Amino acid sequence: MRLLHILFFITILISCKKQDVGSIQAVESKMKNQQIFKLYSEQVKDTFKIFVGLPEKIDSLAGTLYPVVYLLDANFYFNMVYEMLIKYNEVGLIRPLILIGIGYDDLHTMDSLRCRDYTYPQALADYKMATSGGAKIFLEFLKDELIPIIEKKYSVDTFKRILMGHSLGGYFTIFALLHDLSQNEVFFNGYVAASPSCHYNNNYILETYKQSHFISNNQTNLFVAFGGLEDQEDPEVIRSETVLNTLDGLLKHKINYNSSLFSNLGHMETAMPGFYKGLQSILEVE
């Protein structure tokens, strides 16, 4: 959530024009191996901009299936993450992936609507969010509308779906994991949460985890990262180490759980190394 303050975006709700349900509109991309399209969601009643990044040497004719990473806050992170994946693949540090970024019309719109889509339950009044609490609906959009389109169009390995986000996007990632564990479902088999905003609504997500009972599942992988300087940036929220220790105690023997605390990094600086270490950790487990 501190992403909002650091980037100096204005938090207002942008109204969207109604479109045909499920309509897909291609958007021109000048970047090699990248595609962009707009998708109207019947679940959310809004339009999302979807960014697609393919491996540089994609081999679809040979029947190769690629792990697929669903990245939140794509307006801000997609280009950075895609370039990182390409460069690290060139030197053998990470395998070829298909990157799917879920974004909005622009950064300004992303700043307000991410609160709507990445949070649950509805925010307490102190948070002063114009709209919030829509994470369940947004998760339905991913599972029922977006991902079937991606898996029909691209050579993705349906057993290697990874959800990845930072800050409120990290909160949503942990929320999605909680939902799947509660349903004894393995939809995403990997979750990468960088600096998740677990303090949201008085630590709601951690308290809900504590009250839940899960069946052990060695097909599910979670990686969580924080920056060691985050507690200094916002000393009033739950300490990062406390979050990591709590998740470790609750999940270590239930799923494949790993974490990192980057000693000299702050909240915004943790995203990229957290994404890289998370993908590396999850794909090594597989």
The CATH number of residue 117's host domain is 3.40.50.1820
Residue 20 has pLDDT above 70, yes or no: no
Torsion sign across C-alpha atoms 245, 257, 209, 71: positive
CA distance 238 to 128: 20
Q: Please check the confidence at residue 4 and state whether its pLDDT lies above 60.
A: no
For 47: left if phi > 0, alpha if psi spans -120 to 50, otherwise beta; the answer is beta
Q: What is the mean pLDDT of residues 219-235?
A: 95
Q: Give the Cα separation of 106 and 103 in Å (integer).
A: 8
Q: What letter would DSSP give residue 127?
A: G
d(CA 168, CA 28): 29
Is it the case that residue 9 has pLDDT exceeding 70? no
The stretch 69-75 carries a mean pLDDT of: 99
Identify the residue whose tokens are 């540090």.
93
* Confidence (pLDDT) at 32: 78
Domain ranges, residue 109: 2-285
What mean pLDDT, rounded, does the chain reach? 90
Q: How far apart are the first and last CA of the chain?
A: 31
CA-wise closest residue to 168 among 142, 144, 140, 133? 133
Q: How many domains does the chain have?
A: 1
Burial of 95 (C-beta count, 10 Å sphere; 0-12/13-18/19+) = middle
pTM, two decimal places: 0.89
Q: Give the number of C-alpha atoms closer than 13 A to the C-alpha of residue 90, restricted to the C-beta side.
A: 7
Q: Is the pLDDT of residue 8 over 90?
A: no
